[in-house]
Structure 1
Amino acid sequence: MLDITHEEWLRRAKALDLVGAHHIDGVDEGGGEATFAAVSPRDGQVLTQVADGGAEEVDVAVAAARRAFDSGPWPRLAPADRGRILLRIADLLEEHREELALTVSLEMGKPITDAYEIELRAVISTFRWYGQLADKLTDESPHTAPDALALVTREPTGVVGAVVPWNFPLTLAGWKVAPALAAGCTVVLKPSENSPLSALLLGRLATEAGLPPGVLNVVNGKGPVAGRALGLHPDVDVLAFTGSTAVGRHFLHYAADSNLKRVWLELGGKSPNIIFPDAPDLEKAAATAAWGIFFNQGEMCTAPSRLLVHSSIAGQVTDAIVARARELIVGDPLDPATEMGAMAGGRHLDRVLGHIETGLEEGARLRVGGGRTLAETGGSFLRPTVFDHVRPGMRLAREEIFGPVLSVLTFDDLDEAVRVANDTEYGLAAGLWTSDLSTAHQVARTLRAGTVWVNCYEEGDLTVPFGGMKQSGNGRDKSAHAIEKYTELKTTWIQL
């Protein structure tokens, strides 16, 4: 991390030039008179006014993307040339890393240390990885009869609509934009209205890097208006969405009601983290469980929000997590010492507090936290919260809270652990801790989750795919498999 003090980050925040215009066809567009305020959850203050796009602005952006795909140079460039521009985008993101991290921290409350070291590292790596992959994708020539030649080629699908949330505004945008661009598609990106500013800066830097006009367009707006218009648009060929399961259902309806566009969904989670009594390091397991639920204020679709711990060690593990929660530094996101920043606004804070109240009404025991803090700042801060005596049927253990709230459940044997872990409508991720190789393989195979971590949590890199099962969605981000979402397979049969 750069050696920048709290005072210096505050000074730089005041000097930041935040632009809230759409970025369409390679230029900033103010749109109409409608705007909305970008409010920082760290203090409740307005950062700037943002152009509030609707169906008209989405039409303009999609038309630009359509022209760029149908008659522009991007899909027709040599893959190596596309890759070089993606690498240039990565270089510019690196050059503007401090500005981007500061923007993310201001608009959604992420601690500046995490924004700089984790969020920006991830998005830079994403564009670099797909830039390097662009010219390494291969087609097929299956063995057929001797008097024929068969070719199976991958072709870019067309115009991609990407709708991304506020918890990782740049990382999740990169996971969709970079592989779509590498495949030769054009993109209309709609960021969350809670985090539009970093995405707009990404769009401007991509144009500066040499991306042709119309290839990447960024349109602001509310989900029920701009997001709906993008989902229903007949000239959008693919829709990639990360967000709640409820909104994901809307996008499936939009596709059915329009042009049957492909819809790829990365949705919610209620991930189990199972600690067996033979875990190789109980202290590490407890520390990782605490980090996993409190990282990014618990605003993580993969957050290990259900801790399943063997009854023989439940007290020891829970006590360690409670102790860590009590010492965690909750504070100004712009303070490098802060470990947990602000929730993403007052409405979201109230929603999480409602889940906590429900947990108390259901009879779970509150061990630590449970209320807001630092209210005098005007920000949306919540204390790290741990419940034990949680039963599998409680809403606390079934509904995605999307906050720093841990539910501790106990089990007595392996079969019970797996049964409780899988007893959820979600299937995004899971973790397990054991020293027994057979247990690790057996449980990993039976857990219905897109990612299973063994003796760790939230580990991985861009070489492995990411996505969910059940109501956590479909398709995969990251890795070469992400290219599959943005390409069509074409068979050409040549009779010799």
Structure 2
Amino acid sequence: MTSLPDAKLYIDGVLRGAEGGKTFDVISPWTGEPVGKAADASAADVEAAIAAARRAFDETDWSTNVEKRVALVTKLRALFEANKERLSDLARNEAGAAWGAVGRAHVDMALDGWDDYLKVFPEVRWEKDYGSRHGYGFETVRKAVYEPVGVVGAITPWNVPLYVNVGKVVAALLAGCTLILKPAPNTPGMGAIFGELAKEAGFPPGVINVVFGADPALAGEMLVQDPRVDLISFTGSTGVGKRIMEQGAASLKRVFLELGGKSAKIVLDDAPNFAMEVAQAMLVFHAGQGCAVQSRLLVPKSRYEEAKGILKHAYGSFGDNWGVFDDPKHIMGPVVSKRQMERVLSYIELGKEEGATLLAGGKARPDKGGGYFIEPTCFGDVTNDMRIAQEEIFGPVLVVIPFEDDNDAIRIANESAYGLSGGVSSGDLDRAMNVAKRIRSGSISVNGGMCIAGDLPFGGYKASGVGREWGLEGIEEFLETKLIAWRAA
């Protein structure tokens, strides 16, 4: 097991420890043991970061010098490429990523998304001509200009930390904002590396700041409550997102929230390869720790018993091909922490109490090591009103729900507080598209289409959030609209 370098704060262009030299242990999800140390930021450290970001926005040319921004963001991208091995170590040792998952969502997809931001950036519109209008006896010429919103507080989670950090940091920098990145306590190193490489790239002091600590709330609440921070971009649980909206209201702070999900995959009766579509719904990648995972599988009632049989076989075939740290074929490792393991196991017990039937898994696996291992788990005989069908478990737990017809499938999919993603499979594209259009969700995959990519907007309806990340829209989230009108000569 790799020993990670100490994670340091980055404030006003200086890599440093926390006030008083305080640190906390970074715990490996694979072993349950310390794998590194991180600076434990104090309120004074966070205050210094906010002040630095405010000063860099107000007193330097960062917000107006587009050429400088693009050059430095491009240089920083090259440095991340040169440090891919370290990024892999961080993803595996901090977030518990299996080796086979690193080349997908954890590292490669994150860096591909960075490239997508650079590709779409030239499409950002900085001005819009509204023409002239006659009124009150004279002619007025009107123009909108689009400007960076200011200082951004970027609060990020532990599940795919590099991907989410890139989604916020790169968009904010390209838009001309300065920022304070606050990663989760479980994954401080994947935030600290932004400070280290920004310093190497030559970013002006204060443009990027990185703070983290053992207390998951201290730095985040300071960012949300401070009027010098103009925008909060948060990815995490819906409960915390609601608290951010409440606390940000005092300063009428703009918030972007990418929150939870309980997405449905609907396999219609005419799916050309029904067995494959059902089997591929197994929730195993990164132990199900993704906000957009399709954790509800909806299948026709007429083929429900068939679907349960397919899943029993699929999970049985998957077997013990997971949870080995150095196996490059494995895509599932542990969940991130003891707390998360206990939470997921409590939902599994709840599912049994609610009357659902375990088709596969359901147990902790201490034989895999000292970390936080839970078997791939699947419940049948589930109704959509059960808590395991309505609440985000954020673990390797799939629930299978029957439906009568297309309208019933749409009803079940929409009877959720969430609306982040989903999928539809059918041999009739028009039928699948009709179902997809009626599902209230921010992104829908039809017949396996990739609905999540760095050049596409991503976000949710309802309790899944506010705003969009990635793509052109992801950069525009960090812009303000100013309308200028002048009297024609």
Interval of TM-score (by shorter of Structure 1 and Structure 2)? over 0.9
Aligned match of 1:41 in 15, 26, 29? 29
Q: Distance in 2 between matches of 1:229 and 1:191?
A: 14
Q: Distance in 1 between matches of 2:177 and 2:84?
A: 26
TM-score (norm 1): 0.93
Q: Distance in 2 between matches of 1:300 and 1:282?
A: 25
TM-score (norm 2): 0.94
Aligned match of 2:184 in 178, 181, 192? 192
1:303 maps to 293
- Give secondary structure in 2 for the equivalent of 1:494: strand
User: What is the identity, as a one-letter code, of the residue corresponding to 1:305?
Assistant: S
CA shift at 1:459, angstroms? 4.1
Does the 8 Å CA contact 1:331/1:340 hold for their aligned counterparts?
yes
- Give secondary structure in 1 for the equivalent of 2:272: coil
CA shift at 1:74, angstroms? 1.5
- Give secondary structure in 2 for the equivalent of 1:335: coil
CA shift at 1:280, angstroms? 2.3
Q: Distance in 2 between matches of 1:337 and 1:432?
A: 28
2:231 maps to 238
Are 2:163 and 1:176 equivalent residues in the alignment?
A: no
Does the 8 Å CA contact 1:89/1:127 hold for their aligned counterparts?
no
1:305-351: CA deviations, max 9, x gaps?
A: 11110122223333333323233312233431323101101110010
Does the 8 Å CA contact 2:117/2:454 hold for their aligned counterparts?
no
Are 2:241 and 1:253 equivalent residues in the alignment?
A: no
- Give secondary structure in 1 for the equivalent of 2:486: strand
Q: Distance in 2 between matches of 1:396 and 1:196?
A: 31
CA shift at 1:278, angstroms? 0.4
- Give secondary structure in 2 for the equivalent of 1:268: coil
Matches within 5 A, 1:105-120: 105-120=92-107
Aligned match of 2:159 in 167, 170, 174? 167
CA shift at 1:375, angstroms? 4.1
Task: Indicate the RMSD between aligned Cα atoms, in angstroms.
Answer: 1.6
Does the 8 Å CA contact 2:49/2:206 hold for their aligned counterparts?
yes
2:74 maps to 87
Matches within 5 A, 1:319-358: 319-328=309-318, 329-358=321-350
Are 2:353 and 1:361 equivalent residues in the alignment?
A: yes
1:145 maps to 133
- Give secondary structure in 2 for the equivalent of 1:343: coil
Does the 8 Å CA contact 2:97/2:333 hold for their aligned counterparts?
yes
User: What is the identity, as a one-letter code, of the residue corresponding to 1:478?
Assistant: W
User: What is the identity, as a one-letter code, of the residue corresponding to 2:217?
Assistant: P
Q: Distance in 2 between matches of 1:280 and 1:481?
A: 35
Does the 8 Å CA contact 1:87/1:132 hold for their aligned counterparts?
no
- Give secondary structure in 2 for the equivalent of 1:198: helix
CA shift at 1:128, angstroms? 2.3
Are 2:258 and 1:266 equivalent residues in the alignment?
A: yes
Unaligned residue ranges in structure 1 (runs of 5+): 1-9
Does the 8 Å CA contact 1:23/1:217 hold for their aligned counterparts?
yes
CA shift at 1:248, angstroms? 0.4
CA shift at 1:126, angstroms? 2.5
Are 2:122 and 1:129 equivalent residues in the alignment?
A: no
- Give secondary structure in 2 for the equivalent of 1:274: strand
Does the 8 Å CA contact 2:99/2:331 hold for their aligned counterparts?
no
Q: Distance in 2 between matches of 1:317 and 1:84?
A: 53
- Give secondary structure in 2 for the equivalent of 1:372: coil
Q: Distance in 1 between matches of 2:340 and 2:418?
A: 21
1:460 maps to 452
1:224 maps to 217
- From the superposition, tell whether residues 131 and 209 of structure 1 become closer, same or farther in structure 2 (CA, over 3 Å): farther
Are 2:265 and 1:277 equivalent residues in the alignment?
A: no
Q: Distance in 2 between matches of 1:366 and 1:377?
A: 24
Unaligned residue ranges in structure 2 (runs of 5+): none
- Give secondary structure in 1 for the equivalent of 2:284: helix
Does the 8 Å CA contact 2:29/2:336 hold for their aligned counterparts?
yes
CA shift at 1:410, angstroms? 0.4
Aligned match of 2:303 in 291, 295, 313? 313
- Give secondary structure in 1 for the equivalent of 2:19: coil
* Greater shift in the superposed pair: 90-99 or 128-137: 128-137
CA shift at 1:376, angstroms? 5.9
Matches within 5 A, 1:410-429: 410-429=402-421
1:7 maps to none
Does the 8 Å CA contact 1:112/1:334 hold for their aligned counterparts?
yes
1:231-283: CA deviations, max 9, x gaps?
A: 111110000000000000110111123x1110111110110111111012223
- Give secondary structure in 2 for the equivalent of 1:83: helix
User: What is the identity, as a one-letter code, of the residue corresponding to 2:232?
Assistant: L
Q: Distance in 2 between matches of 1:82 and 1:399?
A: 41
CA shift at 1:28, angstroms? 1.3
Aligned match of 1:443 in 423, 435, 439? 435
Are 2:40 and 1:52 equivalent residues in the alignment?
A: yes
1:4 maps to none
CA shift at 1:457, angstroms? 6.2
1:22 maps to 9
Are 2:313 and 1:294 equivalent residues in the alignment?
A: no
1:184-227: CA deviations, max 9, x gaps?
A: 00010100111111111122112322322111111002332111
1:5 maps to none
Are 2:462 and 1:470 equivalent residues in the alignment?
A: yes
Does the 8 Å CA contact 2:381/2:400 hold for their aligned counterparts?
yes
Does the 8 Å CA contact 1:102/1:115 hold for their aligned counterparts?
no
Size of the aligned set, in residue pairs, is 479
Does the 8 Å CA contact 2:443/2:452 hold for their aligned counterparts?
no
User: What is the identity, as a one-letter code, of the residue corresponding to 2:226?
Assistant: H
User: What is the identity, as a one-letter code, of the residue corresponding to 1:144?
Assistant: S
Are 2:69 and 1:76 equivalent residues in the alignment?
A: no
User: What is the identity, as a one-letter code, of the residue corresponding to 1:246?
Assistant: G
User: What is the identity, as a one-letter code, of the residue corresponding to 2:306?
Assistant: Q
CA shift at 1:447, angstroms? 0.5
- Give secondary structure in 1 for the equivalent of 2:78: helix
CA shift at 1:65, angstroms? 0.6
CA shift at 1:137, angstroms? 1.9
Does the 8 Å CA contact 1:87/1:127 hold for their aligned counterparts?
no
* Greater shift in the superposed pair: 338-347 or 458-467: 458-467
